[in-house]
Amino acid sequence: MHYANLGRTALKVSRLCLGTMNFGGWTTPEDAFSIMDRALEHGINFFDTANVYGGKAGKGATEEILGRWFAQGGHRRERVVLATKVYGDMGDGPNDKRLSALHIRRACEASLKRLQTDHLDLYQMHHVWREAPWEEVWQALDLLVAQGKVIYVGSSNFAAWNIVQANEHARRRHSLGLVSEQSLYNLTVRQVELEVLPACRAEGVGVLPWSPLGYGLLGGMLADAERGRRAHPTTQERLKAERPRIEAYEDLCRGLGQAPAVVALAWLLGNPAVTAPIIGPRTLGQLESALPALDLRLDAPTLARLDELFPGPGNQAPEAYAW
């Protein structure tokens, strides 16, 4: 396994992050335990979840599965850099969601209980909430850090200016600020190259791409389009619209002798702004199939061909659209 610093911190995390959103929904607790055990065997030490995950098992169910896995012992908790999130609706009350100081503190306590741990290694705001003043947000997060319940703070789905604004307010409080940002980023969705990635590089914020396989489109979709979450009508509609491009992509991967998912992950891993793509295996086989990406280096002609198939903005802002 390869490791990298999480943003500007001294914390070492695996170059692949184990996403757990399928646990409790598509993946049974027993299978989830096996996936997490195997991830540790392979040296994956970075696990990501969220309080709203659980699918058909209900919100909070995924954190509970991780908690039961940690409770088995074997130094599982000590070996994992554990990340979860706060923002989504966790109840019917007006303060059971978003980023008020009240909800942040209550949500943290609830996540700790479900996860059966006394601290979170990375606590991430799942989305920006413009109603919450940064003074209020950082007051709540700084208190959790001071209490030892949170070590690092990250964001998810933030715009570049949200990241910079959050960190400027943190600096005024002499706080460490954001150390990571989870963004939707893959070959099919490259808007973050305009401003989010440059902002993260400037701020020392590690980028954690979610949906690195483009909701399954980049994972060998043509050969396995009817299984799991790929069978969702929205994904099927995307495949119908993108089929010629996905066919060309899979032809390219065959020419490289690599699985489509491996090429998509290797493309992200080759970006110096990226700390760790978040893989979300539903099965042990899907976990194993992602690992070869760690050692695949795409050459210049391959990168050029990928740019032809999946054009990005061409540069960061403002050069992408102005002189």
CB neighbours of residue 173 within 10 Å = 14
What does the DSSP 8-state code read for residue 89? -
- pLDDT at res. 238: 86
Smallest Cα–Cα separation from 123: which of 197, 191, 175? 175
Active site residue 249: no
Q: Which amino acid is at 1?
A: M
Contact (Cβ atoms closer than 8 angstroms) between residue 115 and residue 51: no
Report which secondary-structure segment, H or E, holds 304: helix 300-309
d(CA 278, CA 285): 16
Q: Residue 145: CB partners within 8 Å, gap ≥ 6?
A: 151, 153, 175
- pLDDT for the residue numbered 230: 62
Percent of the chain at pLDDT exceeding 70: 98
For residue range 237-288, list pLDDT tens digits in order. 888 899 999 999 999 999 999 999 999 999 999 999 999 999 999 999 999 9
Q: Which residue segments constitute the domains of the chain, with CATH numbers given? A: 3-309 (3.20.20.100)
Annotated catalytic residue within 53, 87, 152, 249: 53
310: pLDDT strictly greater than 80: yes
User: And the tokens for 111?
Assistant: 């996540």
pLDDT tens, residue by residue, 215-245: 999 999 887 755 655 677 878 888 889 999 9
Query: Furthest-apart CA pair in the chain: how many Å?
Result: 58
Q: Which residue from 101, 84, 60 is spatially nearest to 154, judged by alpha carbons?
A: 84
pTM as predicted: 0.96
Residue whose C-alpha is closest to residue 184's, from 120, 225, 126: 126
